[in-house]
Chains A and B, each alone.
Chain A
C-alpha cells in the first residue's frame, strides 16, 4: 500500500494492494483511520492494481465513508476494474463513494 498526502487541502491518496484479504484489510483500516484522525477528509483510493477484495475490505471502505460523511469529507475511487466496480454495485455500497 502506498500513500501520498497533501496537507494543505487535507487530501490523501492511497494506492491499495493487489489483493485485499483479511490481513491487508486490517492494515488498510489502520492506515485509513489514522489519516482521518490526522485531519484528512478528502480521500482518493486508487484501486488500479487491486484484483481481489472481499467483504473484509469492503467493510473497511464503508467504515471510512461513514467517518468521512460525519465530517463532510469524500472518498473517491479511481482506477477500479469492471469486476471490482461490480462488487461495489452488487453490494450496493457504490453510492458511498465518488468514482473516477
Chain B
C-alpha cells in the first residue's frame, strides 16, 4: 500500500499545519523514532526556506512524501540557486561523520541531523532538491 502527499508551502510556519497529514504515517512506520524522523523532515524544509529561498515567502517549496511498503521517501524541492552540499560530505562513511554540533553553524547542524537519522540523504547536482529515505522500524 502506497500513500503519497504532495504539499506546497512557502513559509515554515505552515509545517505545523501540514504535519497533520503525514504524522499518523510516521507513528505507524517509525514508532518511537517518529520524533527524529519528523524533526529531520522539518529540518530539510527549513533548510530549503532559509538557504534556498533566503527566508522569502514568495516562492513555494514542494514537498513530496511517499509512504511505501517498506520505506518512506521524501523529496523536497526549492526554487533557489542550490548550495554546495559537497562540503558537508565526508569521502568515507557519512554515518560516522559527526562533529559536535555546537561547533558548527546552523546549516551544518541540520544536515548532520539528517545524516544521522535518515538511511539515505541525497542532493541533486544543483543542490536545490534533496531526497530522504528511511526504512520502517520493522524493516531494519
**Given A19-B16, A21-B16, CB of A54 within 8 Å of CB of B46:** yes
**Contact stretch, chosen from B78-86, B95-103, B128-136:** B95-103
**Given A22-B15, A59-B109, A62-B102, CB of A87 within 8 Å of CB of B46:** no
A90 at the interface (CB under 8 A from B): yes
A36 at the interface (CB under 8 A from B): no
Q: Which of B33, B102, B109 has the most C-beta atoms of chain A within 10 angstroms of its own C-beta?
A: B102
**Given A22-B46, A23-B13, A66-B102, CB of A91 within 8 Å of CB of B35:** no
The interface size bin for chain B is: 20 to 34
A78 at the interface (CB under 8 A from B): no
Q: Which secondary structure characterizes the binding site on chain B?
A: helix
Q: In the complex, which of the residues A22, A55, A62 contacts B110, with contact meaning CB atoms closer than 8 Å?
A: A55
Closest to B38 in A: A52
List the B side residues contacting A51 at CB < 8 Å. Answer: 35
B36 at the interface (CB under 8 A from A): yes
Q: Is the CB of B100 within 8 A of A92?
A: yes
List the A side residues contacting B102 at CB < 8 Å. Answer: 62, 65-66, 92-93, 96
Residues of chain A whose beta carbon lies under 8 Å from any beta carbon of chain B? 19, 21-23, 51-56, 58-59, 62, 65-66, 82-84, 86-87, 90-93, 96
Which 7 pairs of residues, A with B, have the shortest CB-CB distance?
Answer: A83-B35, A54-B42, A22-B12, A54-B39, A21-B16, A91-B101, A55-B110
A-B contact pairs, 14 of them (CB 8 A): A21-B16, A52-B38, A52-B39, A54-B43, A54-B46, A55-B46, A62-B101, A82-B32, A83-B34, A83-B35, A86-B35, A86-B36, A90-B36, A90-B117
